[in-house]
Amino acid sequence: MHTAARVRRTLPSPIGPLLLEVQGGAVTRLTMGSPIDPAEVDCGDGAGEDVEVADRAERQLAEYFSGHRKDFDLPLAAEGTVFQMAVWAVLRTIPCGQTRSYADVAAAVDAGRASTLARAVGQANGANPIGVIVPCHRVVTACGSIGGYAGGLAAKRWLLRHEQAGGAELWDEAASTR
């Protein structure tokens, strides 16, 4: 069975290694919090466009983690249900340094059914395949506790502190590789 060409890279970050995947000229995955099998990572048999997008994503993530970027400007192609994609679109509208509750996101997706959708929003959040770039870490509980996070609660706390401090909690990529 032949799979389409893609570019996969492991990137360092202050919340642990990230696995970036680009296919078809768009970011399809950015995962964290679980061990990355080096045998699963290739530096690209993908098309030139995929390599270019991977380079841009890597650069933009380094800028974000160093406090010099608040928003990402990358083509994205996450696979999910219609509902999940609607939730992920709402997540991208949450400004850096701010949070929204699961109920707020549910209301933005479908105001008429918001009270019944908060749990489904949490599940869609947990299924987000492009963490950090699609900022599911900005969603908290109605009472303000941070809730869950697929990448781990320590990573979610770090991301929220980093954004709320306006990037003051800087990360030096060079120091992380020493």
In angstroms, rounded to a whole number, what is the distance separating the alpha carbons of residues 65 and 12?
A: 10
Question: Cβ neighbours of residue 136 under 8 Å, at least 6 residues apart?
Answer: 88, 91, 125, 126, 128, 149, 150
- Per-residue model confidence (pLDDT) at position 68: 92
pLDDT of residue 157 exceeding 70:
yes
Nearest to 148 by CA among 102, 115, 108: 102
- Report the share of the chain in percent with pLDDT over 70: 83
Q: Which two tokens stand for residue 145?
A: 């506790």
For the four alpha carbons of 74, 79, 84 and 85, in that order, the dihedral sign comes to positive
- Per-residue model confidence (pLDDT) at position 150: 83
Q: Is 120 helix (H, G, I), strand (E, B) or coil?
A: helix
CATH for 82-164 (1.10.10.10, 1.10.620.20, 1.10.3720.10, 3.30.565.10)? 1.10.10.10
Q: Which two tokens stand for residue 151?
A: 């990448």
**More confidently predicted of 13 and 4:** 13
Residue 148 DSSP one-character state? -
Average pLDDT, integer, range 33-59: 74
- Per-residue model confidence (pLDDT) at position 42: 54
- Per-residue model confidence (pLDDT) at position 37: 60
Catalytic residue numbers read 136
Question: Cβ neighbours of residue 1 under 8 Å, at least 6 residues apart?
Answer: none
Specify whether the CB–CB gap between 63 and 22 falls below 8 A: no
- Report the share of the chain in percent with pLDDT over 90: 65
Q: How confident is the model at residue 126 (pLDDT cuts 50, 70, 90)?
A: very high
Average pLDDT, integer, range 106-124: 88
pLDDT of residue 99 exceeding 90:
yes
- Per-residue model confidence (pLDDT) at position 5: 78
> Please, which contacts does 52-61 make with residues 24 or more away whose CB atoms are closer than 8 Å?
53/7, 53/22, 53/25, 53/26, 53/27, 54/7, 54/9, 54/20, 54/22, 57/20, 57/22, 57/27, 57/30, 57/133, 58/9, 58/11, 58/20, 61/11, 61/13, 61/18, 61/20, 61/30, 61/132, 61/133
- Per-residue model confidence (pLDDT) at position 1: 40
pLDDT of residue 32 exceeding 80:
yes
- Per-residue model confidence (pLDDT) at position 112: 82
Structural domain boundaries in the chain: 7-65, 82-164
